[in-house]
Amino acid sequence: MPTLLICLPLGAALVIWALPLNRVSAGSLAVLAALAEVGVWIQMLARFHFSRGGLQFPGHRNWFRDLHVSYHVGVYAFSVWLVGLTVVVMAACIAYAFWAGRDRTRAYFGLMLFLDAAIVGVFVAQDLLLFYAFFEAMLIPLYVLVGVWGGPGRIAATLKFVIYTMAGSLLMLAAVIVYGLQKGTFDLTTIGTSGSNWLFLGFAAAFAIKAPLFPLHGWLPDAYRESPPEVAAVLSGIVSKAATYGFLRIAIVKFPGPTHVLRTPILVLAAIGLVYGSLLAFRAPDLRGVVAYSSLAQMGLITFGVFAVNDLGLNGAVLQMVNHGLISATLFLLAGMVERRTTTGELTRIGGLARGRPALATMLMTTGIIALAVPLSSAFAGEFLILAGVFRRGWGWAAVGAVAIVLAAMYMLRLISAVLHRETGPSVTDAALDLRPAELGVTVPLVACLLALSAWPAAISGHSFAHHISTRSGWTSYGPMKSP
Amino acid sequence: MIHRPHVDWFALAPVNALLAVAGLALLTAVLVPRPARRTTAAALCALGYAVAFGFAVALYARSAHGHGVVANAFRRDRFAELAQMIVAGAGLLATGISLRERMRDDHVGEYYALLAAAGAGMAFFVGANNLMTLFLSLEWLSLSLYILCAIDRDLLGGLEAGLKYLIVGGFGSAVLLFGSALVYGESGHLDLAGIASANRPHDALLLFGLAMIISGLGFKSSSAPFHMWTPDVYEGAPTPVTAFMAAATKTVALVVMLRVLRTAFPQEAHLWTVAVAVIAVASLTIGNLAALVQQNVKRMLAYSSISHAGFMLIAIAANSALGGRALLYYLVPYAAMSLGSFAVVAARERELGVPVTFDNLAGFGWERPVLGVAMWTFMLGFAGFPLTGGFIGKFYVFSAAYKHGYTWLVIVGVVATLVSLYYYLGVVRAMFMRRTEDLQLAPIGGSPPRDSLLQSAVVVCLAVTVGSFFVVQPMIDLARHAANALAF
């Protein structure tokens, strides 16, 4: 089934590239494929045995034997949620792109579907080299999507993005080679743990850049500002989750010793990112800047949860990954919709959009309120779990996290009031209509997912590491993810 | 009465097929009327390469146990046959790329004759089993290439390229010859295995000879610091010739380097592995840094080929069965990517009639999507991205280096890859991310010339580049049998 999830969008991409389809049929084929992908995922969710835990739906084929590399895929409970996040957000983004209209349609939708396949691949790969291949393959369509369809500063933005990311990825490649050859296999389910700090840092560098964590976020503002909105949504919503997934699946599971040794420096970086990102988001002059820097802050928070390395933190981290994926994707799409109406994202030039545009106001308000983690929202549940988890590592971390949540309220409320309220901005005309039905069709499902998670956050936080199946508690007992 | 050795004609069949075709193609220059000359000669050349490829495959299947033939002057083993397959494939594709090259009709017969003769020389070179045949076949292929570089008299840089290649290449050959003489003088043997088994003292003369042999082969594989001719020659030569040189000459030079070092100098392995590693680092450094500032795409690809020589030398420096596999595997996607990328450059050149630079590639990817996507894939392959054989190749090379204990070489390779991204992605940027309005030169004469042979050659290269990512196990098996012929 994971193979199907990879091959379906890939096949659709090849069809779109190969056949001389017109704009409408290429776009609708892409949307159909993305929806079919969601359907396959729902099937998978329905057939997944959460009570059993462990790796499910495995698929295995030899790739090359002499170095023990294989095509090995499968899903754990927490990967199911991340795959779900991917397919849902990708479907919304592809649908939005279809509605918004992108020139060179076939190339565009083919690349989006290719990206879909690559991201799903990252979340289901159970072989180190395969994981690396998917991790890198994400970059290929992203490079072109930003570089061709992006804004005026796109060339510089893509260059920065690629050089940053590849610097991390290549360090990871060196670490993958050394680690795999030392252990004599590249299979993630059987490969033993390692105590090497250098290898850990090799992996951590790649994930820290992709996420990004604090000092390595130089590529982030440009890439998020210059991308088409739906690509920015994918970048911050799901591509960044590939990085935290990597921390979770590889860094802390395979390197328990180095995780313990290097926990404090990483938590410090995450804390700085959390506060610094929130402050920048509060000062950012434009809509996308706010979302971009809030993304930096949220990634710091998720890293908090992951590196707390206990049940509370990890459950919270997985929940928050899904939350933040949905939130930032929705916000970037809404930003795109606002920019389409006002031709700018500068907060000083927009304002008062709520007047006469109830649907836009409702969507932005709902997402923003969830994003600032009011009680009863899914983000509140996620952040609470993360803070509780990290509290066990020291109350100071939790204090920093709590401060950052206050800051989150500040920048989100500033965003909402700057866009929706205040006096009407100079770029806002009466011709700027409310959200069209198609735009609602894209954003409502995302917000509905968020509301559903707000109602039942335990759907994810209680079904990620299946702690009731074993006498040993929590994620450490989770099948092959045992730590020694 | 002179003792005549037994000749295993089958072992020489790929070489002889190409030689025969070279003769026939030369005759077309006299016998075939001018309008049909180009097609006839090209068809003959292609046929020769196809037959040579077939023979090489048959020989590979029937040479499980490598042995010397023709008085041990030539080695019939899977190592040589696999290299011959790569050469023959490259030659076949180069013939297809050449057909529509803007060139006057008066030397087409000679062109294809020399193309086949160069292939014959390479096919012999990879099997050379003593220092005499080694030098002779090196000269054989080099002389053919010198003329090929300069054959198009209308091409401004062609003559310069030919002359430069002749002088520098001649110097390289002389160094190799001198080194061979020193080694022969010290060991008393010409054949490679004999040199290894000779009772010889460890003295400076032999080591000096070894160093000179490495240098001589370094010239041919265009690895730094023996690379100075490469950018000028690659830029000046007709693009199909450049494509052939980048793919085939480099293949045979590296393959022969591994064979000579491994067969003749196993006792000196502790020295030459370090020497080769140093050359690899130099090639990676110089190739990548110089490529960063190039404006001409052919020059950029020339420097990239220098840096790839560096990557493949890492595999040789590992001196292991894994290294041998890595080298032989890497050569396949590398040859395909080089041929393909130069073919795309040739297509653009024919459209514009001027040398291809990053600037006049603008919008090319959207105008000719097949070539554009192919070029994109080749660049990603050179940069070692997944979904191309370049990724697996680099993975194998780094693995071999790590297993040999050269972790620092892995780091150097990784850094070099990172640097190389800038100029490889520069091509993608130029092709897809600039608007066609930025195009500085209008294509001459309306729509681009139809060139289905070049197009299909590019598609074949694309298929090999991408296919070698997915079909790794069979290729590694081929490479393993071939590398085992060297008794690792």
Q: What is the pLDDT of residues B156-215, one digit of tens each?
A: 788 889 999 999 999 999 999 999 999 999 888 899 989 988 877 667 889 999 999 999
From A31, A4, A36, select the one nearest A16 (Cα to Cα).
A31
Q: Find, in chain A, the residue whose alpha carbon is nearest to that of B405.
A: A178
At residue B7, the pLDDT reads 87
Q: Which helix H or strand E contains B408, and what residues bound it?
A: helix B407-428
Q: What is the spatial distance between Cα A135 and Cα A119, in angstroms, rounded to a whole number?
A: 7
Q: Does B436 touch chain A (CB under 8 A)?
A: no
At residue A477, the pLDDT reads 46
From B346, B349, B362, B366, select the one nearest B458 (Cα to Cα).
B346
* DSSP SS3 for A367: helix
From A373, A401, A369, select the one nearest A300 (Cα to Cα).
A401
Residue written as token pair 């991917």: A86
Q: CA A17 → CA A14, A54, A434, B368, B456, distances in Å?
A: 5, 38, 34, 14, 18
Q: Does A140 touch chain B (CB under 8 A)?
A: yes
From B323, B184, B316, select the one nearest B261 (Cα to Cα).
B316
**B53 compared with A372, residue with greater pLDDT:** B53
At residue B101, the pLDDT reads 83
At residue A476, the pLDDT reads 52
| Chain-centre distance for alpha carbon B222 | 10
Q: What is the spatial distance between Cα A278 and Cα A290, in angstroms, rounded to a whole number?
A: 9
User: Are the beta carbons of A243 and A207 closer than 8 angstroms?
Assistant: yes
Cis ω on the peptide bond leading into residue A258 (within 30° of 0)? no
Within 10 Å of residue B173's Cβ, how many Cβ atoms?
18
At residue B64, the pLDDT reads 87
Q: What is the spatial distance between Cα A260 and Cα A475, in angstroms, rounded to a whole number?
A: 16
Q: Which chain B residues are within 8 Å of A163, Cβ to Cβ?
A: 418, 421-422
Q: Does B402 touch chain A (CB under 8 A)?
A: yes
Name the residue type at position A142. L
Q: What is the spatial distance between Cα A432 and Cα B422, in angstroms, rounded to a whole number?
A: 42
Within 10 Å of residue B8's Cβ, how many Cβ atoms?
14
DSSP conformational letter for A130: H
From B129, B127, B135, select the one nearest B192 (Cα to Cα).
B129
Q: What is the spatial distance between Cα A110 and Cα A106, in angstroms, rounded to a whole number?
A: 6
Of A62, A163, A170, the CB nearest to B414: A170
| Chain-centre distance for alpha carbon A352 | 31
Q: Which chain A residues are within 8 Å of B402, Cβ to Cβ?
A: 177-178, 181
Q: Find, in chain A, the residue whose alpha carbon is nearest to that of B416.
A: A170
Tokens of B51: 């037959």
At residue A473, the pLDDT reads 44
Mark yes or no for CB contact B414/A174 under 8 Å: yes
At residue A345, the pLDDT reads 84
Angle between helices A287-308 and A378-391 (to 10 degrees): 40
Strand partners, A286: A346
Q: What is the pLDDT of residues B254-295, one digit of tens each?
A: 999 999 999 999 988 999 999 999 999 999 999 999 999 999
User: Are the beta carbons of A481 and A78 closer than 8 angstroms?
Assistant: no
Strand partners, B68: B75
Q: Which chain B residues are within 8 Å of A167, Cβ to Cβ?
A: 418
Contacts of residue A348, Cβ cutoff 8 Å, sequence gap at least 6: A285, A425
Residue B443 has pLDDT above 70, yes or no: no
Q: Does B463 touch chain A (CB under 8 A)?
A: no
Q: What is the spatial distance between Cα B353 and Cα B343, in angstroms, rounded to a whole number?
A: 15
Q: Does A155 touch chain B (CB under 8 A)?
A: yes
Ranges of each domain in chain B: 13-440+448-484
At residue A214, the pLDDT reads 84
At residue B444, the pLDDT reads 54
**B6 compared with B42, residue with greater pLDDT:** B42
Which band of pLDDT confidence, cut at 50, 70 and 90, is reported for residue B352? confident
At residue B437, the pLDDT reads 65
CA angle at B196 for the pair B192 and B201, rounded to the nearest 5°: 130
Tokens of A304: 């908090």
Distance from CA of A116 to the nearest CA of B (A): 15
From B443, B464, B454, select the one nearest B378 (Cα to Cα).
B464
Mark yes or no for CB contact B418/A148 under 8 Å: no
Distance from CA of A91 to the nearest CA of B (A): 24
At residue A484, the pLDDT reads 32
Residue written as token pair 């606002």: A338
Q: What is the spatial distance between Cα A251 and Cα A269, in angstroms, rounded to a whole number?
A: 16
Q: Does B429 touch chain A (CB under 8 A)?
A: yes
CA atoms in the 13 A half-sphere facing the CB of A169: 27
Q: What is the spatial distance between Cα A95 and Cα A183, in angstroms, rounded to a whole number?
A: 44
Q: What is the pLDDT of residues B305-326, one digit of tens each?
A: 999 999 999 999 999 999 999 9
Residue B440 has pLDDT above 60, yes or no: no
Of A62, A104, A178, the CB nearest to B402: A178
pLDDT in tens, chain A (484 residues): 889 999 999 999 999 999 988 889 999 999 999 999 999 999 999 998 888 778 889 999 988 888 889 999 999 988 999 999 999 999 999 999 999 888 889 999 999 999 999 999 999 999 999 999 999 999 999 999 999 998 888 888 999 999 999 999 999 999 999 999 999 899 988 888 888 899 999 999 999 999 888 889 889 989 999 999 999 999 999 999 999 999 999 988 899 899 989 999 999 999 999 999 999 999 999 999 999 999 999 999 999 999 988 888 888 999 999 999 999 999 999 999 999 888 888 888 888 888 888 999 999 999 999 998 888 899 999 999 999 999 988 899 999 999 988 999 999 999 999 888 888 888 888 888 888 888 999 999 999 999 999 999 888 888 888 554 333 444 554 444 443 3
Name the residue type at position A319. L
Chain A interface, mutation test: which of B328, B373, B425, B469, most A Cβ atoms within 10 Å? B425
Residues found in chain B: 488
pTM over 0.80: yes
Q: Does B385 touch chain A (CB under 8 A)?
A: yes
Q: What is the spatial distance between Cα B413 and Cα A174, in angstroms, rounded to a whole number?
A: 9
